[in-house]
Structure 1
Amino acid sequence: MPRSRRLPAIAAGGVLALAAAVGFAGPAAASGGGGFTLQITSATGLNPTTESVTLPLLQGTHNGQAVYYVVTDDSDQADAARRGVNWAPKLAHALGTAAVQNASAPGGVVEFPGIVDFSPTRSVTPGPAGNEFGGGTYAPGAVGDATYSPLITTGGGIVFEASQIADNSGQHDSIVSIDKPNHKVTLKTFFGFWNGHRTIYLHLDASSPVVAAAEASNFAPNLDAAPGLGSNDVNTSARSAILPIVNGPVGATNPQRQGLNSALRGEGDPLNINQDIPGQGNGRYSPAWDVHPVFWTQAAIDAGQRRQLVSGSDVASAFGNGQITGGTGPANPSLGGFPAGGFISNCPIVAVG
């Protein structure tokens, strides 16, 4: 989009170089393909090469104006199956907090209490070499109002992930194309890892303005009210962890390449680690990712120990060995005590390889 600067990490050249380096599959068929299995079964046009996916486009309202949104996750299993979206039962634990908008649906059309302003200009300026992420400057291109959250309920104890992506003020920075008459939208995606498997996920909202700008997503601070900081407890937490490596190995053709610094160099996606995925039947998945930033220590870097990490157990092991450090949040027992960062990135998983 001309009004915002795109993060170099998702430029086409960097993506294709990364695909060749780590063996990502080519274009996928609508049903998945390319070595990936769709988790959001209502999605079409999944394409790992262009890093994009097409979803059903829904229309609601806010104070009389049209609001366009997508539904990707649902806390009710039967309703999730009916909609063709991810089952994420943990989202119900956020009911009664500011992380969930209490919406109405007269005549089946959702009336949103909160809305997103898509008019700001997104800006991402990397910092100096070796500190591209931490030394950068960031301004998100979409800002939710005091009520907005991508999580909504219209009653019945069910919570939906319903990110707003367009209204009278503009549109989401990850939109590739939007077809309102035919009710579909194509969005950019990122590659990640789960237990050594490849994942493809959306980047829709974040409670940190830095993350929202870097990921080209909506700034939604109310997400921080979702319970479970540093916890993956299926009985109390609305979150699951995502582990971005800040200062991983760099080099566009390096098969060990990974990290936010590398992404800001234009070398490809950051290749974050997802703790859980939908469809496992254990109820642990949530799109409300509890961000756990990972920092390689200088001692580990000097000793040549820095490498690509592809699972939560990899992170727990490196942490136990003193090779990495984390954020300032509480220790997460499901990750060997690795600490949380204190904010959320809303990134529904689309497919798993």
Structure 2
Amino acid sequence: MSNEFSQSTLSRRQFLLWSAFGGSTLALAACAVPVAAPASAPAEAPLEEPAEEAHAEATEEPHAEEGEVKVMVRDVLEYSLDPQGWEGPYGSVTFRLHQAWHNGEAVYYIRTDASDPTFAEEVGLVYVPLLNAANGIEQVNKLYELSGDRMPVIAMIPGHEDYSSLFRMYTVTVQDDSLELTSEEAIEQAVADGAAMLEERPLFVNYPLIQWTGGGMTVDPDLKEVLPGGQLFAEPDLENMSVTMKLHQCYPGSRYILTDTSSAPMAPMMNVPASVPMQELKERGGTDEIWVFGNGIPGPGVMGFQPAIFDNKAGELAWSPFWDHFTVLWADESQARVLTSSAEIRALIESGELELFNGVPDSHPEGFVVNCPAPILAPNTFTA
């Protein structure tokens, strides 16, 4: 059964021209399809494995059986895999929001992934051993968990040149309950004065910021396309501590959100924050790969073609929410067909049937990273 979509396809010439001005939009060649299922399942954490070993080997798929939908993140409150009255080719997902402090001001974030299997299982996040590759990246953001009932504190927010949604976790034990610790500077001073103890934890988490001092992820009032407007359906509900985002589809069997990119020039065109330090995560082997189609079979992707493909599913040891972005073009578009796996992609690149671009054609050979957590696994139903 074929699906109908409102997005128009682009010619090869239009694609190459568009990529020269705003090729970052290719990071979201995805769709949402009609599937109905309940949203009530916690994530399961695989056994621990070193990041370098996880990245090198293929893993079997321990998740949803064929036709089954699995919620991977416990903070997912509700979701729809298909459009519910809007034109855009995507579903929706509502997350529980969490509050933190930054320089004395409240900021709000969602939680999706963690590098430690025990922590991931306790909190209900996707276990991603590849995030341990961030160890040694000097500019990784910091999140301080304070003892007692105090809100956590984060070091950097979007707009800072070293902001990233990947945080190293720290534990702060406060000795003086009278202290107001709502900034990194205040914590550092308390530690220096002996009023608090600081412990660095061997733990990295993917906690994308949704709203921060002077800004936030933007709302798409039209809900017709993937990127224009932004990734939110509405302003965050701070009374009920929730936020609803666009939910996109990729092969194999996954639904994802978009939160930030390592490319500062492309971030405004994608309507997401820049997270420049995540480019180094790619260099250290902490990313997975995604291939986006710039021509071929018409479909629900942002460029008007079939859904994108990435190497692994959320929950598999070689998976990462931080995607190393590639674009592929059919050398002979008349030979185009629907592809669904990275094995097919690699074989056709080797044979010359697909042309490969690191990032997008205009950025090649330089690439970039997009942060696209996958809170839900669900069957792909797209057909040509």
Residue 286 of structure 1 corresponds to which residue in structure 2? 320
Tell me the residue number matched to 2:336.
Answer: 306
Hey, what's the Cα distance between the residues in 1 that align with 2:97 and 2:118? 21
1:14 aligns with 2:6: yes
Give the secondary structure class of the aligned counterpart of 1:219.
coil
Render the CA deviation track for 1:3-59: whole Å, top value 9, x for unaligned. xxxxxxxxx9738xxxxxx99333432226984211223312120113111112011
Q: Which has the higher strand share?
A: 1
Q: CA 1:214–1:262 in 2, change beyond 3 Å: closer, same or farther?
A: farther
Q: Answer 1 or 2: higher relative contact order, Cα 8 Å, separation at least 6.
A: 2
Partners in 2 of 1:292 and 1:341 — Cα distance?
Answer: 10
Q: 1:340 to 1:275 in 2, by over 3 A?
A: farther
The answer to whether 1:217 aligns with 2:257 is no
Match 2:162 to one of 136, 147, 164: 147
Aligned to 1:101: 141
Partner of 2:295: 247
Contact kept in structure 1, 2:326 and 2:357, CA below 8 Å? yes
1:59 aligns with 2:89: no
Give the Cα–Cα distance (whole angstroms) in 2 for the partners of residues 203 and 153 of structure 1.
21
Q: TM-score, normalised by structure 1?
A: 0.70
1:157 matches 2:202 = yes
Compare CA radii of gyration and give the structure with the larger one.
2
Match of 1:350 in 2: 375
User: What per-residue deviation string (whole Å, max 9, x for no partner) do you get for residues 164-190 of structure 1?
Assistant: 110232321222242212222111111
Task: Give the TM-score, by structure 2 length.
Answer: 0.64
After superposition, the Cα gap between the structure-2 partners of 1:279 and 1:103, relative to the gap in structure 1 and judged at 3 Å, is closer
Q: Is the 8 A contact 1:62 1:112 kept in 2?
A: yes
Identity %: 25
1:58-97 matches, within 5 Å, as: 58-97=98-137
Shift of 1:103: 3.1
Give, in whole Å, the separation in 2 of the partners of 1:36 and 1:89.
23
Map of 2:82 onto structure 1? 49
Query: Does the 8 A contact of 2:76 with 2:96 survive in 1?
Result: yes
Q: Give the whole-Å Cα distance in 1 for the aligned partners of 2:211 and 2:5.
A: 28
Once the two structures are superposed, the pairs formed by residues 140-289 of structure 1 within 5 Å of their partners are 144-154=159-169, 155-173=200-218, 174-177=231-234, 178-194=236-252, 198-209=253-264, 212-213=267-268, 215-228=270-283, 237-250=285-298, 257=299, 259-262=301-304, 271-280=307-316, 283-289=317-323
Q: Could you say which residue in structure 2 is the equivalent of 1:138?
A: none
Give how far 1:62 is off. 1.2
CA RMSD of aligned residues (A): 2.7
Number of equivalences? 272
C-alpha separation in 2, matches of 1:258 and 1:312: 19
Instruction: Please give the alpha-carbon distance, in whole angstroms, between the structure 2 residues aligned to 1:146 and 1:23.
Output: 33
Cα distance, 1:79–1:206 mapped onto 2, change above 3 Å: same
1:247, distance to aligned residue in structure 2 (A): 2.2
